[in-house]
Structure 1
């Protein structure tokens, strides 16, 4: 691509506040009244992951009431635009994620604020939840660039970005102060020319044919993308 030429392109669409349906999960716009109790249990309950909040700019929450106030604030924003992740087997909300830094005129959008309960972590459900936003951003809304950012020390998020096919672009040193600590921010992206390969691999990985009777993957996502 010659970056000096005029683009034959039109601005992306703004993401709608609507439901996205997958095989394992359904994404619904965050609703504190409907999802709050389930999210409190998944993210702060006795069986929740204590490391979940380590690199997020908020939480953990000492009380259910404070968590509810936070949810009420986030459900009303359009950037970030928050979604609850509902397990389609149980119907319970088991996680959160969002679009943010939404720039339709530039065709750029980010996925972030990811908080998945322990039961979702390292599961097809967690991959599908992110896939639903990835596909919406690139295939439906028409963005040119999908971003992922995380603390440079957040090994779980770094591994997730690379596994999903994001390309690391660099480390922004002393980019922010989060909870009184320095944050060097790792920047990742997928651009439109890279997306078809990522999309194809994700669709094949999520296919029921890729899992055996015990639910174990037959092929890794990275291997499918390398084809």
Structure 2
């Protein structure tokens, strides 16, 4: 039933006892297959440059605000600025098996007053793409935001022409909310931005699917998944 005020105007549902959330911290988060830790140039730069260098071309950087980087010094300068930033707050993804940094991602557009935060600057190397680690890394930060910090909304935004990013958002459980036309100019070109989000009411079902998907019994002897994230989320709807 829609609520109305004393003037008979429709108003949103009350959010009882809401208080601003804490900002995300520079902490490490351990998973079964990877570790998320604050970006540190001295420890991560060489690993990341080598990992990104495994890509056959610079296409992974097309939809990012920076890159590609042809030399280590320029890349290190970028990482130095990223390390110093508090919003976006950048984290490195560490492969637990190798101990090496294989990608980065960030929490950004952080709004503690409203309980809103965005996942962004996702820069995964060929060593990380389409692996169990890449999914676990997303899950670890998502769990931190919802369960530890108590945020209400977790966003994903990308160039509307970035088909892989849009596909990933849906795979991870984000819901499409629309296109913001001419939202950004970057690298000298227009960006219409596709918006996606998970809200706290969605999170229990999304979290359960992640945990079931990441479980060892969801993979066969060749490491192939038995059920997809989407299948596992759909099962919870029944």
- On whether the aligned pair clears a TM of 0.5, the verdict is yes
Indicate the residue corresponding to 1:31 in structure 2: 40
* Equivalent residue in structure 2 for 1:18, among 27, 31, 41: 27
Structure 2 residue matching 1:52: 3-state secondary structure: helix
Deviations 1:93-115 (A, max 9, x none): 00000000011110000111000
Q: Give the deviation of 1:209 after TM superposition.
A: 1.0
Indicate the residue corresponding to 2:50 in structure 1: 41
Deviations 1:10-54 (A, max 9, x none): 2222111010101111011000011000000111x1445632101
Task: Determine whether 1:155 maps to 2:163.
Answer: yes
Indicate the residue corresponding to 1:66 in structure 2: 74
Structure 2 residue matching 1:156: 3-state secondary structure: helix
Structure 2 residue matching 1:113: 3-state secondary structure: strand
Structure 2 residue matching 1:226: 3-state secondary structure: helix
Structure 1 residue matching 2:60: 3-state secondary structure: coil
Asked if structure 2 preserves the Cα contact closer than 8 Å seen for 1:204 and 1:210, the reply is yes
Alignment root-mean-square deviation, CA:
1.3
Asked if structure 1 preserves the Cα contact closer than 8 Å seen for 2:54 and 2:125, the reply is no
Cα 1:205–1:49 shift into 2, 3 Å: farther
- Between the aligned partners of 1:38 and 1:55, the Cα distance in structure 2 is 22
Asked if structure 1 preserves the Cα contact closer than 8 Å seen for 2:54 and 2:126, the reply is no
Structure 1 residue matching 2:165: 3-state secondary structure: helix
Q: How many residues align?
A: 226
Question: Structure 1 stretches of 5 or more lacking a match?
Answer: none
Q: Give the deviation of 1:66 after TM superposition.
A: 0.7
Task: Determine whether 1:172 maps to 2:180.
Answer: yes
Asked if structure 2 preserves the Cα contact closer than 8 Å seen for 1:49 and 1:118, the reply is no
- Between the aligned partners of 1:157 and 1:129, the Cα distance in structure 2 is 16
- Between the aligned partners of 1:48 and 1:81, the Cα distance in structure 2 is 28
Asked if structure 1 preserves the Cα contact closer than 8 Å seen for 2:153 and 2:200, the reply is yes
What TM-score, normalized by structure 2, do the two folds share?
A: 0.92
- Between the aligned partners of 1:41 and 1:205, the Cα distance in structure 2 is 30
Question: Structure 2 stretches of 5 or more lacking a match?
Answer: 4-10
Q: Give the deviation of 1:134 after TM superposition.
A: 0.5
Q: Give the deviation of 1:61 after TM superposition.
A: 1.2
